[in-house]
Amino acid sequence: MSPSKKNKAKPIKSASQELAASSSAEAPQPAADPAAGFPIVGIGASAGGLAAFEAFFSGMPEDTDPNMAFVLVQHLAPDHKSMLTELIRRYTRMKVFEVEDGMQVRPNCIYIIPPNRDMAFLNSTLQLLEPNAPRGHRLPIDFFFRSLAQDQRERAIGIVLSGTGSDGTLGVRDIKGEGGMAMAQNPASTEYDGMPRSALATGLVDFELPPAEMPAQLIAYVTHAFGRPPKRRAAPSTKSENELKKIFVLLRNQTGHDFSQYKPSTVLRRIERRMAVHQIETISGYVRFMQQTPEEVKSLFRDLLIGVTSFFRDPEAFKALEKQVVPKLFADKPANAVIRVWSVGCSSGEEAYSLAILLAEHQAVVPQNFQLQIFATDIDSQAIATARAGIYPASIATDVSPERLERFFTFEPDNGIFRIKKTIRDMVVFSEHNVIKDPPFSKLDLISCRNLLIYMNAELQSKIIQLFHFALNPGGFLFQGTSENAGLLDFFAVLERKQKLYQRKIDPSGAQHADFGRFPSSMMANHVALPQVAERTSAAKKPSVREMTEQALLREVVQAGALINAQGDILYLHGRMGMYLEQPPGEVKHPNILQMAREGLRHDLTITLHKVLQTRASVRRPGLRIKTNGDFITVNLIVRPMAAAPAAWSEPPLCLVILENVQEPEHCDPATVPTGQDGKPRSKSDSMDADARIAALKEDLRAKEEYLQAANEELETSNEELKSFSEEMQSVNEELQSTNEEMETSKEELQSINEELTTINAELQSKMAELSRANNDMNNLLAGTGIATIFVDLQLRILRFTPTATRIINLILSDVGRPLAHILSNLSGYDALIYDTQAVLDTLAPKEVEVRTKEDRWYALRIQPYRTLNNAIEGAVLTFVDITATRQLRETMLVNEERLRVALSASSMTLSNQDMDLRYTWMYPLALGYSSEQIIGKTDVDLLPEQEAAELTTLKQRVMNSGKGLRQTIRSTIAGKTFEQDLTIEPLRDSSGSMVGITCASVDVTGQHTREETDPGAKEALPPDKTEATYDTGIAAPETPRICDKRP
């Protein structure tokens, strides 16, 4: 069945997990027990795989758990860190892991192979191994699929997605061989279709779909096959046995092969798998589906024939065969003898070619020359066609050593395939053959029948073992599969028990000789296949008296005959035809009477058949001399056209060939016995005249002329056909030449593109390194500043944040991608975060605001647009700067300033600061009648009368020069009024001790002179000669001098 048409029907409701009853007393277990585990889905991809992964997991339903594990095997660069894990997380809500050695597999999880590792599945764990094959020859998908098939059997599911080459093909074969399920991406939906096409070419893929459609079909299959608890199998019932027999009948009618003697458990497992593929619940429903869909019969037939095969499968067994058996095949043979081997159930030919390689290798080391002949048979015509072609994917490199690949195969890099060399191909004869019903080969030295008998019941196994004993030469060898335990000891001696090597016993003790009469000939099989010639009844019945009589009369009248078509192909044989026909050497697919005719018959039979087809009338040729068994016999040849009705010519034309044996008198010379028109011999007389002999010679000459004429006509026809064929070949050659030129041009273009890609790849690697460094720098910068930062996109979804941001907004790593509005914050009294952020994105104007957390910490929040290098707005950046200490200092300063203002207001003191140029930077309270603008930045020269300004400036310069404070009473006139002030001047220093200006404190003492005049003791209270004093002191200036303008 074509894979593309195989399974595109609409899914139907989930089916029961097992059939209602077994068809025999042997009740096999269900194909898979849901309690035992869950399906493992291996997904292999190469080039173009990322897009396929995205489509596959994006198509996975989000409202249900698939209840299976997914293992992704991608061809990855061995020396670069893979980003596949992070990329897959974007497309699924399932947990995604990069595999670590020994990791336990859980359902509803995705596991991704790490770079530069091979991966195997063993006991529900993923095991990582160092790759053995060099880069470019590794096949990680096949490696994993094979181990998955061996460990999980029916629960193994393989999916092949986009990629070049053939990796995954051999793995798909193994998965199908163990009863698993296979999917492949539709080549039309791939970026690179090499891997999917290679898998589809096996004919084993169950579903061919685009990646987005795979999840629905996968879930439907898994739900049907594993989604329900297994029911206890009921005792065999007549109804269930009848349904199974109907399936056998449908298979036999359409394929010609009878599976009724196969083990019921094997057949039922395959039937259950096909039911799961189509979601059919009951076996009776499946029978109806097969009747309505003939292609399904072929699909089931293909499933029943699937065998797990590979080159040198079970290497230890082949090593034992090479060491213990192959030398013995050559040892007892004379030079130029024929060594005959039969590979039974050869499938696609790997086993047969493996045997041929072993024989060819030993042939090269022995001095004598031998003829090597291997018969390889199977009932699967498609597998035989593959074997005959001798073409295999590049993935066979995992099974065949490099030395053998070099010696016995030709690699075609353009197609990515290995082709078996002609020397090995010519050793093997492939043929469709059913070991159950077709006659065996004979005089064999070795039979290889591996993993075939395990599918058959005990009775059939016993008969085939006896058949092998019959077919082998005395002392011949039998090579079986490591899983087979068929009883052999009556017929074979054990040569190597573990590797299943046996040797034929010459006289088997207690053995029953097999009845080989049950094997009909292949020609009889061809006859049965033509319904217009005869029909086979489904059940044998006892012949009637009339039939027995007619058969006896027929044997008396017609001793031997054959029914043939216009080409001479034999459709039916009657009687002992071995006297007149012999089997030609080599492979015979359609037996032809003209090729099989013995010496003396072929010439006349060819002429006679040609004449009958032209005239549509019977022709008789008496007295033919045929050589058989070293002697000559005389026969009469009669060829008659077959009539479908009286006076009607059958379509297609069929002819009946009758051969009558003529008894010769003992005294006659056999070479000169004449015959009459009735074909009966006449006695020869000594007086026979020359005219009679001349007439006989003329008749013989006329026959030869007719034969020559027929040959000339056929030759002319062949010449015309060859001429036409030559013209077509010339046209094809011209087209191929044109195509070749186009291919050369394309090759040059591809080489140029490849060079560009190499350059771009190098640049990309450099950019990635720069990006990595920039990313590290940014992470360290954000972490070093301690500033909480949050990045959001245009939909206010969180893109990134620094660790300190988690103290303000309750963020965790899994919040990336969630809307900011869904996250709780620790802010108190500020609910406009989302509104303000959206306003910044709308207006592109930054916004600043001070916010407080529940822990009573203050932050300066700044929201500004996120701009790219191209000035595109892609979101917003929120920063939180901790200003708790600054705010506390500011509040303390305000309190202190308030206290100072109160103290100064209660006194008559005026304070002021001046810089090194003696310009006022601060004064409190302001001088009477002046505003802040009139004082700040001015000097005493600008504000006071010239004399007073000069005196005051001199005092202040003295303090600045000496660095020592000074106190003195002065008089000044402000706004026309004279004041006396007690002036203290001190240097103003910064934190380092450097002078940055002076500070002055003046107290109005104008009223004190009046008190001194009225109270002389007051003046005496002052220290004598202290109207002017200097002292060493200074006032430290704040780190940032503050200029204040205080209203009076």
Q: Which residues are catalytic?
A: 46, 75, 167
Tokens of 496: 């190597």
What is the amino acid identity at position 621?
Answer: R
Q: Which of 161, 164, 201 is nearest to 183 (CA)?
A: 161
Q: Given the structure tokens 């301690």, which residue do they identify? A: 786
* SS3 labels along 364-431: CCCCCCCEEEEEEEECCHHHHHHHHHCEEEHHHHHCCCHHHHHHHEEEECCCCEEEECHHHHCCEEEE
Q: State the DSSP H helix or E strand holding residue 78, giving kind and residue range, or none if neither.
A: none
CA distance 283 to 21: 9
Q: What is the DSSP string of 735-768?
A: HHHHHHHHHHHHHHHHHHHHHHHHHHHHHHHHHH
First-last CA distance in the chain: 105
What is the side-by-side order of every strand in the sheet holding 428-432? 428-432, 371-378, 338-344, 444-449, 472-480, 501-504, 492-496
What is the amino acid identity at position 960?
Answer: M
- Residue 103: count of CB within 10 angstroms of its CB: 16
User: What sign does the CA torsion over 575, 577, 579, 580 have?
Assistant: positive
The DSSP call for residue 73 is E
What residue spans of 786-847 are helical by DSSP H? 833-843
What is the amino acid identity at position 545?
Answer: V
* CB of 783 closer than 8 Å to CB of 806: no
* CB of 996 closer than 8 Å to CB of 915: yes
Q: What is the SS3 assignment for 969?
A: strand
CA distance 133 to 141: 13
Backbone φ and ψ for 762, nearest 5 degrees, come out as -65, -45
* CB of 452 closer than 8 Å to CB of 483: no
What is the side-by-side order of every strand in the sheet holding 40-45? 95-98, 109-112, 69-74, 40-45, 156-160, 181-185, 207-209
Q: Which of 87, 74, 148 is nearest to 114 (CA)?
A: 74
**How big is the chain by its Cα radius of gyration, in Å?**
52
Judging by DSSP bridges, how do beta strands 909-915 and 371-378 pair with one another? unpaired
Q: Is residue 574 classed exposed, middle or buried when 0-12, 13-18 and 19+ CB atoms within 10 A define those classes? A: middle
CA distance 546 to 537: 19
The DSSP call for residue 24 is S
Contacts of 392 (CB under 8 A, 6+ apart): 350, 409, 417, 418, 419, 420
Contacts of 81 (CB under 8 A, 6+ apart): 115
Q: Could you tell me how many residues make up the chain?
A: 1048
Backbone φ and ψ for 881, nearest 5 degrees, come out as -100, 125
What is the side-by-side order of every strand in the sheet holding 654-662? 570-575, 560-565, 654-662, 631-641, 619-628
Which stretches of 682-807 are assigned E, i.e. beta strand?
788-792, 798-801
